[in-house]
Structure 1
Amino acid sequence: MRLLVFPLAFMANTFAMMLVMIGLSLFGKPVLAADFGLIHGATVALFYSFSGNARSLILAESGTIGAAGILRLRLLLLLPLSVLAFMLCIGVVDGGWLFVLLLVVRRAAEWLAEVFLSEQELHHQGRAALRFLLIQGCLGLALLLALLDGGVLAIPMTLLWGLSPLLGCVSLGLLGRALCNPMPLLPSIRLLLPHFGSTAVIGVSVYVFRLFILLVAGKQVAGDLFSAFALGGILGAVFSQALGPTMVRHEQRSAGPGRLMRLFNLMLVVVLLAGLGLVALVWGLPQVLDWTHKGQLFWLAVGCSLAGGVVMVLAQRIRLRIIQDDVGGDVFGSDILANILLVASIPFVFYGLGVNALALLYLLGALLSWMFYASERHGLLAQRYTGWFSQRRLLLLIALAIFLPLFFQLQEGIFRDPAHEFSSGGVLALLPIPLSVLACYLGMVLLGGYSQARLALLSLFFVFIGMLLTSLLLGPAGEGQHKLILLIQYILPMFALVLGQQFGGREDAQALVARAALLVLLAIVPLQLLATLLAGTPILSPSLRLFSIYQHLQYVPLLFVAAYVLALFGLWGRAGLDGWLQGVTLAMGAYVVLSWSLLAGLLLALGLLLFLLQQGVRDARRLVLPLLAFAGALLALWYVRALLQGEGSAPLPASADLTLRVLEGRGGYLERWTFYIDGITGSWTSALLGHARSPQRELYPSALNYYLDFAYNFGLLGLLPLVLLALYSLVAVLRRWRTFWAATPALGLALVVIFMLTLDSAFKVGLRQPYSGVIMFFLWGLLLAQIARPTARPEAFNEKGV
């Protein structure tokens, strides 16, 4: 049991301020306890964000970076982080600047002490850890007594307690190695960056998680939920911050799980049964708990959190094993994806399932963490690609689900509204949700290997942090809920960027995407054209009997033309597919005309022209493609002309493609762009941070430009990472244009992505819509994966079949 002295010492260092705060609250000093809590929250958020999984990295002994390198970096960051923490706290507590300074010194000393304690554990210095534990216990008790007395000893005791972490564990040898560390600073920072990002996103997401619950549910419900999550999830917190690193290290270096691990597993079973039993009691006999004066929601959240704590322990085991691996792994991708998805799930849970469903949030977060940690290295099904269910078929299914325009509603099931214009009226339960959203998140977990999508993850991280920062700096309390929901609307489609880069790293990725695109076009376009003829309308019908296509005129036509370009460039010349591509070309000509989409028509023309230029005109089968498209367009025009002559002039519905709007007049492009540009350039705060409130939806539902829309709401600061990624993609394609020109599928992909990021995004906001945004970001991720392959042979894309 000597093994426990190290996690106990670490707990005494990490939770000391919280224990003093609890003591002050219990013994009649609630105001002082509140000041402790506020300072503790601010300092933990800052210092934890830059902790970088240090303890696990030191115990891993991977050789990439040790305690000396981590301590050296912390010494450099100590002063700026302390000053920032002091500035954040000085205006929100009543204890005075000296009180704030001493508590910031305490947290800074704890931050440095983590490294010394980890070094002691690495070298099995149990006596030193025990001495530290006794010093912290005695000084903590003495401080509590001095603060309760309120006499002259309060300040000196606070100073002594604040410096005590270093007085109790500092090692001059480690300090000397840190100051004389030969390893350059920049390589150390580069190695730790994924770990900094991992802890930073956790710290930020915890704050946003609590804020979002407070905004949607109110203070009373939020207070009960926070207490229930803390009570039920204490096992997961203690394991992840104190017990876990020690137990995982001991488990990896011993022959078996050991007696301690078996006892701990038994405790997990007991806690899980207790949680399930409490949930059953709350649902079956809620009156039994009336004596507690706590509502059903509180105890339901406690029961679910107890079960979630067990799942979180299992997730943290995987996380710590990855970090402590000899090869120096990191969990940057898993932490980003799990935490942002948890925050994004709050409005769907609250508005879709009701307030009682908020009790499931801690359990949901634990499950998300487990799924992403378990799939971090190779995906959940990495070893199960056998028989019919091969990896190639799995990839094909994911791509099919991404392109298939199937929508469902939480309240109504599969979307079947036959109207050309549909509005959910702001009701989340009626909002059509595309299958591609589920395919995106499920596909990420199944494929795993998040380190392959590092660029996409970094972009997602910085966009999220930038949007969140502008929202918190600018958004007033009354608009906070709206801003966070708008943030989620923008950020959710961006996850497909990660999936695209994961997908693009697999063999024959672009050929599989091309085949999936062709299959979707063959299944949907003829049916939609037939439904349009049967309906006798001059524009595409949204209904296919079995289901309807949401936003079938605003965004889907361009996406289907993009799918056609990918199929043409990726599959032409493959045995048995040229005939199908010719038939689809004829149908796409008619489809574009009936969709009344100028952008879709332009992309179709550019795709055919570029294909002929790249392939050459010696083959008559290629020359027939533009003729087929033109013939399809003429047939559609003849149909529309005959229909309009027979019925008289029939105005197009407002939902027809927005590129048909005139430049002048109310609701046109010039008016929208002028309004949004004036709003962005009105002041430096509006340019950098955006606006606290969106324009009135009745007057300006969008900017008709994705970048203006983004900048108006979240400022140039939030938009900057996305713009930099777009410029990087464009420059990378131009610098390697010979490689792209030689690889037909890569050329078609580059054309589609560049068109979407420039022309389409200049006239629409498709990147923020669920269906169109997922497809666009997915294809962008594929392009990033292609750019990241400097040794790929261009001809390989044309030689291999699917």
Structure 2
Amino acid sequence: MRVMVFPVAFMANTFAMMVVMIGLSLFGRPELAADFGLVHGATVALFYSFSGNARSLILGESGRVDGAAILRLRLLLLLPLAVLAFALCIGVVDGGWLFILLLVMRRAAEWLAEVFLSEQELKHQGKAALRFLLIQGVLSLALLLALLDDGVWALPLTLVWALSPLLGCLSLALLGRALGHAVPVMAGIRQMLPHFGSTAVIGVSVYVFRLFILLVAGKETAGDLFSAFALGGILGAVFSQALGPTMVRQERSAAGPGRMLQLFNLMLVLVALAGCFLLAIVWSVPHLLDWTQKGQLFWLAVGCSLVGGVVMVLAQRIRLRILQDAVGGDVFGSDMLANILLVACIPFVFYELGAGALAVLYLLGAVLSWGFYASERHGLLHLRARGLLSERNLLLLIAFAIFLPLFFQLGGGLFDDRSGTFNSGGVLALLPIPVSVLACYLGVVLLGGYSRARLSLVSLFFVFIGMLLTSLLLGLDQGGEGRQKLVLLVQYILPMFALVLGQQYGKRDQSLLMLAQAGAGVLFLVIPLQLISTLLDGLGYLSPSLFIFSVYQHLQYVPVVFVALFAIVLFVGAAKGWPRSGLLVLSLMMGGYAVLSMSMLALCFMLLVCLGFFIRMLFWRRVDWACGVISCVVLGAAAAGLYAQGSEFFDHKFAAVTTGEALGVPANLSERVVFWRFYVSEMLSDWGVFMLGHVEPPDRLLYPSAHNYYLDFIYNFGFVGLLPLILLILYSACTALRRLPRVWSDVELLGLLGVVAFLLLVDNFLKVGLRQPYSGVFVFFIWGVLLARLAKIRCAGCSDSPEAT
């Protein structure tokens, strides 16, 4: 049990300021305790964000990053972070600048001491750790007594206490190695970037998590929930920050589980039983807890958090094993996905299940963390199994679920509204949710291997940080406006998870082939049923009904998605030599479908697909393929046009507006011009507005949509929020141009590139498809696949096009 001295010393270093703060609060100095809390919160947010999992990396001895390299980086970052922390506190804390300076010095000293303590543990210097523990215990108690007395010794003792972490564990040998480290600074920063991102996203998400609960539930409910989460989740916090790294290192070094591990596992079982017992009391006999003066929600949250704490410990074990792996793993992807998804769940839990359901959030976060950590390396399913769980079948099923326009409602099962004019009225229970959303998140966890989707993860991280930053600078805590802003942020960010799935998917062999096969399956399933339903209903335009369920937004976003699918199937089918009869039948149906959808954008897209296919086949000397496909498309379109001609909807859709008759401008395009003028004028009205966006959305009665995703994004979250997405588009374009000869020779990849380019640069300049759950998940998914495929062709001889063979 001597090994326990190291985690206890680490706890004394990490929690000393909190212990003093609690003592001041309990013994009659709440104002001073509040000052301690404010400085502690600001310094933890900054220094923790740049902690980079240092202790686990040092104990892991991977050889990539050692204690000297980490200490060197911390010495370089120390002054900027300390100045920023001081600036954040100077206008908020009432204790004066010297008091703030000393507390910031204390947190900075703790930050450096983490490295020295980790080196002591690595070298088994138990006496030094025990000495550090005694120094911190004595000085913290002395400082508490001096502050309570408010005598002349308070200030000198605060100075000694602030410097004591370094005085108790400073190693001149390690300091010398750090200052003389041979590895260049930029190389060290690159090695640590994933770990900085990991801790940064945790720190930011904890803040947003608390703020979101405060905005949706109110201060009183939020206060009870925060206290309950802290009380029930203390086991997970202590394990992750103090006990866990030591225990995982002991597991790696010992031949079998030690006595400490057995006792700890027993404690986990007891805590889980205690949580279940408390939940049973809350549900069955809640009056037994009336003497505590706490409501049922508080104890429900405590019970769920006790169980969640056990799950979090199991999750943190996996996380720490990855960090201490000999090959030097990182958990940036897992931390980012789990924390952002947890924040995104808050409005759905609150508005659909009520305030009481917020009690399960800590447990939900623990389960999400366990799922993502467990799938970090290879996914939850090992994809070497045969039969139904083979890699090929799983990939086909994921893509099929992403493409299928099947919607469900939380309050009513499968979506089935044949009017074509459905409006949820802002009620979450009535909002049609596509199964592609569930398939996206489940697919991310099943496929795992997040390091293969690093580009998508980094892009998603910076979009999230940019949107959050602009919201905070505009005043996110302005009551209902702040709540509305965060809900809008969630709406934008959720479809972007499909970008990660797309990169995971595209790294697999034959990913484009399986993509096209799944797309063909969806088109052959949906299009005939929808065309038959249209003929039976006699509407003169495309019916939303598929008999069993209905397609939501069947005239707005789905037609463009289906034409995009058709293009992918067409190019892949031609490259792989699929039966021509099947492609011709599909072309015939798609021509009629595009016309009946009355979507001018889908019709223009179909025209470009046919033209691009003809040009590519002309160079390939397969003009007969192109002529057959184009003939079938024209034939189907002509038949559908004759059927729809003369209908009221057809005339309204394609008639020119009165003011635009001379130019022949369709009514919906003329409408868009009015909206674009409004959004552009509002964005350019002020430089700050352009960079940060607006606090409130526009009046939806007057301007229901920007009809341009990028204008809509900048209006709400500013150019700063959109910048990472713009950079990703530019990166995709530059990568494709640099590899253009290889892309041109790969018929499959060429078709995918054309589809993604149209959706990003045309479709979303006329609509807000990337905001919508179904179309947004679809576009981000195939964009991620494109990024993965472009990265693969950097290797010589990896093209699998027919011409290469």
- Report if TM-score (shorter chain) is over 0.5: yes
Which residue of 565, 573, 585 corresponds with 1:563?
A: 565
**SS of aligned partner of 2:335:** helix
Give CA deviations for 1:382-433 in whole Å, capped at 9, x if unaligned.
Answer: 1562233210000000000000000001001110011211111111111110
Cα distance, 1:577 vs. partner?
3.3
Q: Structure 2 CA distance, aligned partners of 1:668 and 1:793?
A: 50
1:347–1:485 CA contact under 8 A, matched in 2: yes
After superposition, residues 286-685 of structure 1 pair within 5 angstroms as: 286-382=286-382, 385-476=385-476, 477-478=478-479, 479-572=481-574, 574=576, 577-616=579-618, 617-618=621-622, 620-641=624-645, 644=647, 651-652=652-653, 662=665, 668-685=671-688
2:598–2:653 CA contact under 8 A, matched in 1: no
**Counterpart amino acid of residue 750 in structure 1:** L
Cα distance, 1:575 vs. partner?
5.9
Q: Structure 2 CA distance, aligned partners of 1:467 and 1:328?
A: 31
* Equivalent position of 2:270 in the other structure: 270
Structure 2 spans left out of the alignment, 5+ residues: none
Q: Structure 1 CA distance, aligned partners of 2:38 and 2:157?
A: 20
**SS of aligned partner of 1:330:** coil
- Using a 3 Å threshold, how does the CA distance of structure 1 residues 709 and 663 change in structure 2: closer, same or farther? farther
Cα distance, 1:792 vs. partner?
6.0
**Counterpart amino acid of residue 739 in structure 1:** R
**Counterpart amino acid of residue 683 in structure 1:** D
After superposition, residues 53-132 of structure 1 pair within 5 angstroms as: 53-132=53-132
**Counterpart amino acid of residue 684 in structure 1:** W
Q: Structure 1 CA distance, aligned partners of 2:92 and 2:57?
A: 35
Q: Structure 2 CA distance, aligned partners of 1:532 and 1:521?
A: 16
**Counterpart amino acid of residue 441 in structure 1:** Y
Runs of 4+ in 1 over 3 A off after TM superposition: 573-577, 647-654, 659-667, 792-795, 797-801
What TM-score, normalized to structure 2?
Answer: 0.96
**SS of aligned partner of 1:245:** helix
**Counterpart amino acid of residue 536 in structure 2:** L
1:50–1:199 CA contact under 8 A, matched in 2: yes
**SS of aligned partner of 2:408:** strand
Q: Structure 2 CA distance, aligned partners of 1:731 and 1:618?
A: 30
Q: Structure 2 CA distance, aligned partners of 1:51 and 1:794?
A: 40
Q: Structure 2 CA distance, aligned partners of 1:297 and 1:573?
A: 60
**SS of aligned partner of 1:408:** strand
* Equivalent position of 1:738 in the other structure: 741
* Equivalent position of 1:256 in the other structure: 256
1:708 matched to 2:680: no
1:42–1:88 CA contact under 8 A, matched in 2: yes
- Using a 3 Å threshold, how does the CA distance of structure 1 residues 728 and 666 change in structure 2: closer, same or farther? closer
- Using a 3 Å threshold, how does the CA distance of structure 1 residues 354 and 665 change in structure 2: closer, same or farther? closer
- Using a 3 Å threshold, how does the CA distance of structure 1 residues 269 and 481 change in structure 2: closer, same or farther? same
**Counterpart amino acid of residue 676 in structure 1:** Y
Q: Structure 2 CA distance, aligned partners of 1:118 and 1:798?
A: 57
What TM-score, normalized to structure 1?
Answer: 0.97
Q: Structure 2 CA distance, aligned partners of 1:469 and 1:795?
A: 42
Q: Structure 1 CA distance, aligned partners of 2:266 and 2:229?
A: 22
Cα distance, 1:651 vs. partner?
3.8
Q: Structure 2 CA distance, aligned partners of 1:271 and 1:83?
A: 42
1:13 matched to 2:17: no
Which residue of 745, 750, 757 corresponds with 2:753?
A: 750
**SS of aligned partner of 1:388:** helix
1:188 matched to 2:179: no
- Using a 3 Å threshold, how does the CA distance of structure 1 residues 653 and 168 change in structure 2: closer, same or farther? farther
Q: Structure 1 CA distance, aligned partners of 2:493 and 2:457?
A: 12
1:278–1:299 CA contact under 8 A, matched in 2: yes
* Equivalent position of 2:722 in the other structure: 719
**Counterpart amino acid of residue 470 in structure 1:** T
2:322–2:331 CA contact under 8 A, matched in 1: yes
Root mean square deviation, CA, Å:
1.9
Moved more, 283-292 or 605-614: 605-614
Which residue of 777, 787, 791 corresponds with 2:795?
A: 791
1:500–1:777 CA contact under 8 A, matched in 2: yes
Moved more, 752-761 or 604-613: 604-613
Moved more, 604-613 or 90-99: 604-613
Cα distance, 1:672 vs. partner?
1.1
Moved more, 188-197 or 87-96: 87-96
1:756–1:776 CA contact under 8 A, matched in 2: yes
Give CA deviations for 1:326-349 in whole Å, capped at 9, x if unaligned.
Answer: 000000000000000000000000
Q: Structure 2 CA distance, aligned partners of 1:735 and 1:666?
A: 35
Q: Structure 2 CA distance, aligned partners of 1:95 and 1:609?
A: 72
- Using a 3 Å threshold, how does the CA distance of structure 1 residues 229 and 648 change in structure 2: closer, same or farther? closer
After superposition, residues 101-180 of structure 1 pair within 5 angstroms as: 101-180=101-180
Q: Structure 1 CA distance, aligned partners of 2:466 and 2:324?
A: 31
Cα distance, 1:787 vs. partner?
1.4
1:740–1:794 CA contact under 8 A, matched in 2: no
- Using a 3 Å threshold, how does the CA distance of structure 1 residues 581 and 266 change in structure 2: closer, same or farther? same
Q: Structure 2 CA distance, aligned partners of 1:666 and 1:761?
A: 14
Cα distance, 1:619 vs. partner?
5.0
1:539–1:596 CA contact under 8 A, matched in 2: yes
1:689–1:717 CA contact under 8 A, matched in 2: yes
1:470–1:689 CA contact under 8 A, matched in 2: yes
Cα distance, 1:761 vs. partner?
1.0
Cα distance, 1:640 vs. partner?
1.0
**Counterpart amino acid of residue 557 in structure 2:** Y
Q: Structure 2 CA distance, aligned partners of 1:746 and 1:603?
A: 18
* Equivalent position of 1:285 in the other structure: 285
1:116–1:171 CA contact under 8 A, matched in 2: yes
- Using a 3 Å threshold, how does the CA distance of structure 1 residues 179 and 552 change in structure 2: closer, same or farther? same
Q: Structure 2 CA distance, aligned partners of 1:668 and 1:648?
A: 17
**Counterpart amino acid of residue 569 in structure 1:** F
* Equivalent position of 1:47 in the other structure: 47
1:21–1:33 CA contact under 8 A, matched in 2: yes
* Equivalent position of 1:247 in the other structure: 247
Q: Structure 2 CA distance, aligned partners of 1:9 and 1:649?
A: 76
Give CA deviations for 1:756-778 in whole Å, capped at 9, x if unaligned.
Answer: 11011110100011000000000
- Using a 3 Å threshold, how does the CA distance of structure 1 residues 698 and 796 change in structure 2: closer, same or farther? same
Q: How many residues align?
A: 794
* Equivalent position of 1:230 in the other structure: 230
**Counterpart amino acid of residue 560 in structure 1:** F
